[in-house]
Amino acid sequence: MNRGRFAPSPSGDLHVGNLRTAILAWIWAHATGRSFVIRVEDIDRVRPGAAERQLADLAAIGLDWDGPVLYQSTRAQAHEDAVANLTERGMLFECYCSRRDIREAASAPHILPGHYPGTCLNLSEAERAHKRAKLAAQGRGPALRLLAPVNEWTIHDELHGSVTGPVDHVVVRRGDGTPAYNLAVVVDDAFQGVDQVVRGDDLLSQAPAQACLASLLGLPEPTFVHVPLALAPTGARLAKRDGAVTLTDLHGLGWSTGDVVDWIGQSLGVDGARKSTGRSTRTASDLAKVLTVDRLRALPATPWIVTPPAEARP
Ligand code: GLU
């Protein structure tokens, strides 16, 4: 079971950058002899109707997938089992910090930016009981963090090569009792037979911790492909507020779905195909014919700067 995947969070409509990543994941899977699955990561930030619209947009640009879509919220038992496994092996510790506590403590000069400052690592039982009671009084519980036996892990990425990064004390279960993204993604990729993870390079920094978690849970580590993100002209990550960047917005300006795929194709350097054949790349399959594995591996690491069209297409 060798599979690639796309795993959107149903927090809103997909924009052209997300669609480009999905196309790349689909092409990369097929070009390397894999099938392709979809997982809707609906354990956080769910907007009603968004998952259905995302799936419809993916189908509209020509993507298809093996078997039924997996909804991550149906996997709660498997996530709990993984947490129990790590707990029994003494690999987790309770963390009572709020986001603010962590922000404040993490600004100390000896803490790497974005890293857990270690506040709850070495507390006495009495201190734990006190902090637990304080949280309980606010109707909250502790989060569970990983006590990894190593500080760093090395992953293989098709575009970035060998990447060694910190494992840190990633959260595996949040204070509200729900599984954390980093745990769920690892457990569910393995469950779906995913051995190739193509996604935006904003998640590259999470990959070493995820691969380490997989290994600790006795699950295979996937190979990774972190592709460049789409950015707004300001240099910020592309977002819906930047203008007409979703399929629905662009349809509203008179673009066809084929026009949008063609635009994504141009961003991937397949404009030449149109010039030589006179034919535009109108669906994901058209792009797949041009984007061989060698071409994919040579993709520049630079982001796609998206200038949303301001006016209706003539
Ligand atoms: N669900 C995540 C997102 O939409 C992606 C997770 C992943 O690809 O590992 O940002």
pLDDT of residue 227: 97
Phi, psi of 157 (to 5 degrees): -125, 130
* CB contact at 8 A, 197 and 220: no
Same domain for 149 and 106: yes
Asked which of 227, 252, 274 is the last residue of a domain, the reply is 227
Q: Which atom of ligand 1 is nearest to the CA of 41?
A: 1
Residue 109 pLDDT > 80: no
Q: Which atom of ligand 1 is nearest to the CA of 202?
A: 10
Same domain for 208 and 123: yes
Query: For the segment 265-299, what is each residue's pLDDT rounded down to a tens digit?
Result: 999 998 754 555 556 678 999 999 999 999 999 99
Same domain for 212 and 135: yes
Query: For the segment 9-30, what is each residue's pLDDT rounded down to a tens digit?
Result: 999 999 999 999 999 999 999 9
Quote the ligand 1 centre to 8 CA distance (angstroms). 5
Same domain for 291 and 178: no
Quote the ligand 1 centre to 15 CA distance (angstroms). 14
Residue 221 pLDDT > 60: yes
Quote the ligand 1 centre to 237 CA distance (angstroms). 15
Angle between helices 181-191 and 76-88 (to 10 degrees): 110
pLDDT of residue 279: 64
Vertex 41 angle, CA 114 and 23, to 5°: 95
Whether 200 is covered by a domain: the verdict is yes
Instruction: Give mean pLDDT, residues 219-231.
Output: 97
Whether 264 is covered by a domain: the verdict is yes
3-state secondary structure 177-229: CCECHHHHHHHHHHHCCEEEEEEEHHHHHHHHHHHHHHHHCCCCCCEEEEECC
Cβ neighbors of 159 (< 8 A, separation 6 or more) are 225, 226, 227, 297, 299, 301
Asked which of 196, 227, 258 is the last residue of a domain, the reply is 227
Same domain for 179 and 94: yes
Quote the ligand 1 centre to 126 CA distance (angstroms). 38
Over the chain, what is the mean pLDDT?
Answer: 93
Candidate of 42, 199, 238 to mutate for ligand 1, largest count of ligand atoms within 8 Å of Cβ: 199
Same domain for 295 and 264: yes
Whether 233 is covered by a domain: the verdict is yes
Q: Which atom of ligand 1 is nearest to the CA of 5?
A: 8
Hey, is 248 helix, strand or coil? helix
* CB contact at 8 A, 11 and 43: no
Q: Which residues lie with the beta carbon below 6 Å from any ligand 1 atom?
A: 7-9, 41, 185, 199, 203
Same domain for 143 and 25: no
Same domain for 80 and 154: yes
pLDDT of residue 292: 93
Residue 135's domain is classified under what CATH number?
3.40.50.620
Whether 217 is covered by a domain: the verdict is yes
Quote the ligand 1 centre to 102 CA distance (angstroms). 23
**Confidence band for 314, pLDDT divided at 50, 70 and 90:** confident
Task: Supply the residue whose CA is at minimum distance from atom 6 of ligand 1.
Answer: 7
Residue 60 pLDDT > 70: yes
pLDDT of residue 278: 59
Q: Please give the residue range of the domain that contains residue 199.
A: 75-227
Whether 314 is covered by a domain: the verdict is no
Same domain for 205 and 109: yes
Q: Which atom of ligand 1 is nearest to the CA of 185?
A: 9
Instruction: Give mean pLDDT, residues 148-171.
Output: 94
Q: Which atom of ligand 1 is nearest to the CA of 210?
A: 9
DSSP state of 176: T
Same domain for 238 and 197: no
Whether 310 is covered by a domain: the verdict is no
Same domain for 175 and 244: no
Tokens at residue 244, please?
Answer: 């007409």
Whether 313 is covered by a domain: the verdict is no
Give percent of the chain above pLDDT 90. 83
Instruction: Give mean pLDDT, residues 176-201.
Output: 97
Whether 311 is covered by a domain: the verdict is no
Instruction: Give mean pLDDT, residues 144-148.
Output: 95
Asked which of 196, 212, 227 is the last residue of a domain, the reply is 227
Same domain for 188 and 82: yes
Q: Which of 98-102, 170-174, 218-222 has the lowest mean pLDDT?
A: 98-102
Total structural domains within the chain: 2
